[in-house]
Amino acid sequence: MSNRAIFARGGMGRLVGWFIRIVIYDICITTIQDVLGVSRFVALFIFLGILAAIAFGGYFAKQRMSPGVED
């Protein structure tokens, strides 16, 4: 596959976006690890717990504001 085909389909933009997300997640996990003094594995689960709490909070807020949207 040529570079022209990669750029034409937006593959390079998706790849760069993926790397940016990985770097941001790594910074967050490393910060949790340093601040709390836990292992990287524990920091990963804390980070995933925070993301899950945000997702559930958003879901419940949406249901509270507009309960019949998905019906």
Q: Alpha carbon of 10 to those of 1, 5, 15, 16, 57: distances in Å?
A: 13, 9, 9, 10, 33
Q: What's the pTM value of the predicted model, to 2 decimals?
A: 0.68
Residue carrying the six token digits 């790397």: 19
Residue 1 has pLDDT above 90, yes or no: no
What was the pLDDT predicted at 15?
Answer: 81
Residue type, 50: I
E strand residue ranges, the chain? none
Q: Say what the pLDDT of residue 65 is.
A: 86
Rounded Cα distance between 31 and 40, Å, is: 10
Identify the pLDDT of residue 25.
Answer: 93
Would you kindly state where each structural domain of the chain is located, as residue ranges?
A: 3-65
pLDDT digits (tens, 9 = 90+) for 2-60: 555 555 566 778 888 888 989 999 999 999 999 999 999 999 999 999 999 999 999 89
